[in-house]
């Protein structure tokens, strides 16, 4: 084909493209009902269940319709920040737990107590609910919650003689001391095989800190307490896993094999992981189990992840939004949601109604009861950025735990809380 | 006697040289055989894998069935790879034997070059091959590495589910699509065409404006030209993020939120483009323009007949760079997208919908990426000779 022909072809193709795609008007079926927009970040399966619940709610509220709009989780913060500045925001949205504080401090979401949240507050799990508790008020309702627990590779346990051939009982160590003992038996450096692998980000490290009862931010949110005695003890224990006992693979180093990849390939015997990977791991045909995270001085504990739903101040129909969101997170609907999607309920009422066939999920339900508080700050990613390098300095042996944590405390206090 | 000795020595020398050549050739053939077997084995295995995934109907047990089908065809791809390798070896050896002794060293040199190039191609194409293979893996298996051979990345239990879900032709999506018109439009095809339109329009307009701007800055007399140019360059020192919120504000005030205009309008003035084209146009001799003017060419003619054809290589480069920028510009397009209307969603934003809070659907991302690299690959194929022309022309300065 000559160059001229290619050019002509390209031009014709382009003009056709303009004709087909330029117009972006779409029929939005306005049938007289008031539209409430709900921005969410659910995936395909979740959205389908959500639509079912919306339909039930619409049957009871004939004059309203809820339009679920999916936005990508990556970038939902940027999207909301910019949309709210020009008044293009939704009526309500599902946001990452760490984002509620920023929205509340920037005065863009409603204080739920004005809508009567105090009456029904007790039905939600405490740890996820606390992520929406800012300056003495509740600004969000948890809609989905997760935590991490200890995944272990049964085959590797069997090979190390730690699990009887026919036993299915979880053999995960109860305390960090036992964990180190067991870890030594599971580690075989000649085969590049390690007992444990961890990533170094604050959220993934919270199970360690929480099991020693070490808070990052004080309860009133006014001081950073990451340099407490308990935190120093925690960090020393974490560093000893890699350095002194050498049972951790150093997966926190840049470029190392990630815990997830090492685990599915049988390189790491134990990792922290959340329930979101249960189905995926089952597909790998790996023989794995889930156990509680070993306990420190305060027993087993874990972190809280997930999302909260919030109502924006820009909405004209706050009562209806609130009504829908409480309906959405009620025990009945949580039961349907969790059974259909194999997720952990956030409603205590649903805890009695839900029963999973998967023993791993039941273990997560147990672990969730011991979840510790997450640090609630205005800019959570900045908190990570300030703390993670200091923790890494300790893990790689450049600083002592005390030095690093008091440096981190100073930075967090200056740049995040007093600022 | 002495001449006899010399003869024998020479003869001996020739023998060692010959032996050396043959030894070298054998080593090269060895490398070639292993390379050929490994590559063709993977390619044939991939073909068999794609075939098995394709013929297995969508069902719960599809993955296992496709795996069995593949297992039963192990002989086929291994056999094909062996046959191909043998044929190639025979071909090369015959060619070598047919070559005259004097030319054999040249033959060996050429063969080394081809082998090195093959290795280069493998290194370059490996990530793409990996992407294709991952797209066929069922959820959860993306990160699993084969224990027997870590370089064997073709899945042994393939599935087309990722492609089906991306293109929304799987069962679950079909039931969703019946909800309303909005749901029907939420598919990869819409995002792909939107991105194609946005990226080509933007690339065309940017090169057009930048070429005119560069022409003025390079060839025209203008008061304070140098200072204005410096001022323009200074804006490149400010990170683009700084403009994002003000630009978004302006776009919304113009009522363009969620439209295609919003996707590229703020990026039409490209200082980088003007700078790049001006540097190139500086190398075009003024005498050419003067000659054209003497022949009676108007300003527009000088620009279109003299400047643009001469600067075509660099203009094509700018076109490609701009296209790439808009093809993958996530943050800006995310901000101006109206998610209530799927007709305003572009590819980078659409791809991000596959990532959750903690999990990424790697298989889905990879299968969508398979489609998204196609326009870039096509553009590169057509534009590559301009690249090379641009490089050599830019090297010569008057």
Per the CB < 8 Å rule, is B248 touching A82?
Answer: yes
Tell me the C-alpha distance between B232 and B217, whole Å.
11
Alpha-carbon span A71 to B357, nearest angstrom: 12
> In whole angstroms, how far apart are CA A396 and each of A179, B59, B270, B334?
21, 49, 45, 38
Q: Which helix (H) or strand (E) holds B47?
A: helix B2-55
Residue written as tokens 């699990």?
Answer: A163
pLDDT at B339: 87
| Segment B230-266, tens digit of pLDDT | 999 998 888 888 888 899 999 999 988 888 889 999 9
Question: Residue B398: pLDDT above 50?
Answer: no
Identical fold between A34-146+305-369 and A149-303+377-417: yes
Two structure tokens written together for A224: 């950073």
Report CA Rg, chain B: 29
Fold of A34-146+305-369: D-Maltodextrin-Binding Protein; domain 2 (3.40.190)
d(CA A258, CA A204): 13
SS3 A224: strand
Give the residue among A411, A179, A377, A407 at the shortest CA–CA distance from A294. A179
Give the model's pLDDT for residue A392: 95
Nearest to B143 among A21, A71, A260 (CB): A260
Sequence-separated (6 or more) residues with CB below 8 Å from residue A409: A224, A225, A226, A227
Highest CATH level, class, for A149-303+377-417 = alpha beta
Residues 220-249 of B with CB under 8 A from A: 244-245, 248-249
Order across the sheet with A141-146: list the strands.
A64-70, A34-40, A92-96, A305-311, A141-146
Nearest to A22 among B165, B249, B260 (CB): B260
CB contact under 8 Å between B143 and A22, yes or no, is: no
Instruction: Give me the helix-helix angle, A76-85 and B241-253, nearest 10°.
Output: 50
Least CB–CB distance from B140: residue in A69, A82, A279: A279
C-alpha B142/C-alpha A264 separation (Å) is: 10
Nearest residue to A94 (alpha-carbon basis) of A307, A276, A305: A307
Per DSSP, which regions of A117-157 are E strands? Answer: 133-134, 137-138, 141-146, 149-153
Return d(Cα B264, Cα B196) in angstroms, integer: 12
Rounded CA-CA distance B170/B174 in Å is 6
Instruction: Identify all chain B residues contacting A33, using CB atoms and an 8 Å cutoff.
Output: none
Of residues B142 and A288, which shows the higher confidence score? A288
Instruction: Report how far apart, in Å, the C-alpha atoms of A159 and of each of A185, B71, B107 are.
Output: 10, 29, 55
At A358 the pLDDT is 85
* Domain boundaries along the sequence of chain B: 2-159, 177-395
Q: Enter the tokens of residue B57.
A: 């109907």
Tell which CATH architecture fits domain B177-395.
Answer: Orthogonal Bundle (1.10)
DSSP A413: I
Residue A326 DSSP symbol: H
- Give the pLDDT confidence score for residue B392 in this predicted structure: 57
Q: Which of A47, A79, A266 sits opposite B335 (nearest CB)?
A: A79
Q: SS3 of A288, please?
A: strand
Contact A283 B165 (CB under 8 A): no
Q: Is A363 helix (H, G, I), strand (E, B) or coil?
A: helix
> What is the pLDDT at residue B56?
85
Q: Using the structure block, give the residue that is written with the tokens 């760490």.
A: A98
pLDDT at position A418 is 78
Q: Is B141 on the interface with A (CB under 8 A)?
A: yes
Residue whose C-alpha is closest to residue B66's, from B78, B52, B77, B76 = B52
Question: How does residue B169 score in pLDDT terms, banded at 50, 70 and 90?
Answer: confident
In sequence order, what are the residues at sequence separation of 6 or more whose Cβ sits closer than 8 angstroms to the Cβ of residue B355? A72, A73, A74, B361, B365
- The more confidently predicted of residues B90 and B146 is B90
| B359 pLDDT tier (thresholds 50, 70, 90) | confident
Q: Which residues of B touch A27 (CB under 8 A)?
A: 181
Whether residues A71 and B339 touch (CB distance < 8 A) is answered with yes
Residue A314 contacts residue A89 (beta carbons within 8 Å): yes
> What are the residue ranges spanned by the domains of chain A?
34-146+305-369, 149-303+377-417
Collapsing DSSP to helix, strand or coil, A40 comes out as strand
Q: Is A63 exposed, middle or buried (0-12, 13-18, 19+ CB in 10 A)?
A: exposed
CB within 8 Å: B382 and A29: no
Q: Taking Cα atoms as reference points, which of A360, A72, A170 lies closest to residue B357?
A: A72
pLDDT at B168 over 80: no
Q: At residue B110, does pLDDT exceed 70? A: yes
Q: Which residues lie closer than 8 Å to A91 by C-beta, 6 or more apart?
A: A36, A37, A38, A311, A312, A314, A315, A317, A321
**Residues facing A137 on adjacent strands:** A134
Closest C-alpha among A332, A302, A295 to residue A146: A302
A-to-B residue pairs, Cβ atoms closer than 8 angstroms: 133
Residue identified by tokens 């809070």 is B357
**Would you give per-residue pLDDT tens digits along chain A (419 residues)?**
577 888 888 889 889 888 888 877 776 666 778 889 999 999 888 888 999 999 999 999 888 989 899 999 988 999 999 999 888 889 999 999 999 999 999 999 999 999 999 999 999 999 899 999 998 899 999 999 999 999 999 889 888 888 766 666 656 788 999 999 999 999 998 888 999 999 999 999 999 999 999 999 988 888 999 999 999 999 999 999 999 999 999 999 988 999 999 999 999 999 999 998 888 888 888 889 899 999 989 999 999 999 999 999 999 999 999 999 999 999 999 998 998 888 889 998 888 888 888 888 988 988 998 998 889 998 999 999 999 999 999 999 999 999 999 999 999 999 988 77
Residue in B with minimal Cα distance to A144: B357
Angle in degrees, 0-180, between the axes of helices A229-242 and A380-395, rounded to the nearest 10: 60
Select from A104, A173, A108, A157 the least CA-distant residue to A133: A104
Are B361 and B309 within 8 A, CB to CB? no
Subunit contact A51:B141, Cβ cutoff 8 A = no
Say whether residue B98 is in contact with chain A using an 8 A CB cutoff.
no
Answer whether B353 sits within 8 Å of A276, measured CB to CB. Answer: no
pLDDT tens figures, B15-46: 788 888 889 999 999 999 999 999 999 999 99
Q: What is the mean pLDDT of chain B?
A: 86
B378 touches chain A (CB under 8 A): no
> Choosing among A44, A50, A146, A266, which should be mutated to test the B contact, i.e. which has the most B CBs within 10 A?
A44
């Amino acid at each position: 084909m000559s160059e001229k022909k290619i050019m002509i072809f390209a031009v014709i193709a382009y003009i056709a493209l303009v004709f087909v795609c330029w117009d972006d008007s779409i029929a939005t079926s306005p049938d007289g009902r008031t539209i409430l927009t709900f921005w969410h970040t659910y995936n395909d399966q979740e959205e389908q269940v959500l639509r079912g619940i919306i339909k039930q709610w619409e049957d009871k509220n004939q004059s309203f319709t809820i339009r679920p709009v999916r936005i990508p989780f990556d970038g939902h913060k940027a999207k909301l920040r910019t949309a709210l500045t020009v008044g293009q925001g939704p009526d309500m949205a599902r946001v990452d737990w760490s984002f509620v504080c920023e929205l509340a401090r920037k005065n863009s979401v409603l204080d739920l107590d004005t809508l009567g949240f105090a009456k029904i507050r007790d039905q939600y799990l405490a740890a996820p609910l606390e992520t929406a508790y800012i300056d003495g008020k509740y600004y969000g309702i948890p809609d989905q919650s997760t935590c991490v627990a200890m995944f272990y590779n049964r085959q590797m346990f069997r090979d190390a003689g730690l699990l009887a051939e026919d036993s299915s009982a979880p053999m995960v160590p109860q305390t960090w001391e036992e964990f180190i003992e067991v870890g030594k038996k599971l580690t075989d450096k000649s085969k590049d095989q390690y007992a444990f692998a961890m990533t170094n980000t604050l959220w993934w490290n919270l199970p360690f800190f929480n099991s020693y009862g070490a808070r990052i931010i004080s309860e009133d949110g006014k001081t950073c307490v990451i340099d407490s005695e308990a935190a120093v003890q925690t960090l020393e224990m974490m560093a000893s896993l890699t350095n002194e006992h050498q049972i951790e693979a150093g997966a926190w180093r840049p470029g190392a094999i990630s815990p997830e990849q090492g685990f599915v390939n049988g390189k790491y015997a134990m990792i922290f992981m959340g329930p979101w990977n249960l189905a995926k791991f089952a597909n790998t045909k790996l023989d794995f189990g889930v156990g509680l995270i070993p306990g420190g001085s305060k027993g087993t504990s874990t972190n809280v992840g997930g999302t909260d739903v919030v109502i924006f101040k820009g909405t004209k129909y706050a009562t209806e939004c609130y009504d829908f969101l409480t309906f959405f997170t009620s025990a009945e609907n949580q039961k349907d949601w969790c059974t259909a999607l194999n997720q952990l309920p956030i409603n205590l009422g649903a805890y009695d109604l839900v029963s999973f066939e998967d023993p791993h999920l039941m273990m997560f339900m147990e672990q969730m009861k011991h979840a510790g508080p997450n640090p609630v700050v205005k800019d959570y990613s900045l908190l990570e950025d300030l703390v993670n390098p200091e923790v890494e300095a300790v893990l790689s042996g450049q600083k002592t735990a005390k030095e690093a944590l008091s440096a981190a405390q100073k930075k967090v206090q200056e740049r995040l809380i007093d600022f | 006697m002495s001449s006899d000795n010399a003869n024998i020595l020479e003869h001996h020398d020739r023998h060692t040289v010959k032996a050396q050549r043959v030894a070298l050739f054998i080593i090269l053939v060895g490398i070639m055989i292993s390379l050929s077997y490994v590559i063709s084995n993977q390619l044939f295995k991939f073909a068999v894998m794609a075939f098995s995934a394709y013929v297995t109907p969508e069902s719960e047990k599809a993955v296992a069935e496709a795996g069995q089908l593949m297992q039963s065809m192990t002989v086929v791809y291994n056999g094909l790879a062996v046959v191909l390798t043998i044929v190639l070896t025979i071909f090369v050896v015959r060619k070598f034997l047919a070559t005259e002794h004097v030319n054999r060293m040249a033959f060996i040199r050429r063969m080394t070059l081809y082998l090195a190039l093959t290795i280069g191609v493998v290194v370059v194409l490996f990530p793409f091959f990996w992407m294709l293979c991952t797209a066929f893996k069922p959820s959860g298996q993306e990160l699993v590495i084969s224990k027997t051979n870590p370089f064997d990345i073709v899945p042994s239990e393939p599935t087309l589910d990722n492609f089906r879900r991306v293109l929304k032709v799987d069962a679950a999506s079909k039931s969703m699509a019946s909800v309303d018109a909005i749901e029907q439009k939420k598919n990869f095809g819409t995002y792909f065409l939107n991105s194609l339109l946005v990226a080509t329009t933007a690339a065309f307009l940017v090169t057009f404006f930048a070429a005119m701007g560069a022409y003025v800055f390079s060839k025209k007399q203008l008061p304070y030209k140098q200072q204005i140019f410096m001022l323009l360059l200074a804006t490149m020192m400010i990170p683009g993020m700084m403009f994002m919120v003000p630009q978004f504000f302006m776009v919304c005030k113009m009522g363009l939120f969620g439209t295609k205009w919003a996707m590229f309008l703020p990026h039409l003035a490209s200082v980088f483009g003007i700078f790049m084209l001006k540097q190139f146009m500086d190398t075009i001799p003024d005498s050419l323009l003067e000659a054209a003017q003497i022949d009676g060419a108007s300003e527009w003619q000088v620009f279109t007949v003299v400047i643009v054809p001469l600067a075509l290589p660099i203009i094509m480069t700018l076109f490609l760079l701009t296209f790439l920028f808009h093809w993958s510009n996530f943050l800006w397009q995310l901000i101006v997208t109206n998610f209530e209307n799927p007709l305003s969603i572009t590819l980078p934003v659409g791809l991000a919908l596959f990532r959750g809070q903690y999990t990424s659907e790697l298989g889905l991302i990879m299968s969508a990426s398979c489609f998204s690299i196609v326009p870039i690959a096509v553009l590169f194929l057509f534009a590559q000779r301009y690249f090379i022309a641009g490089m050599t022309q830019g090297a010569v300065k008057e």
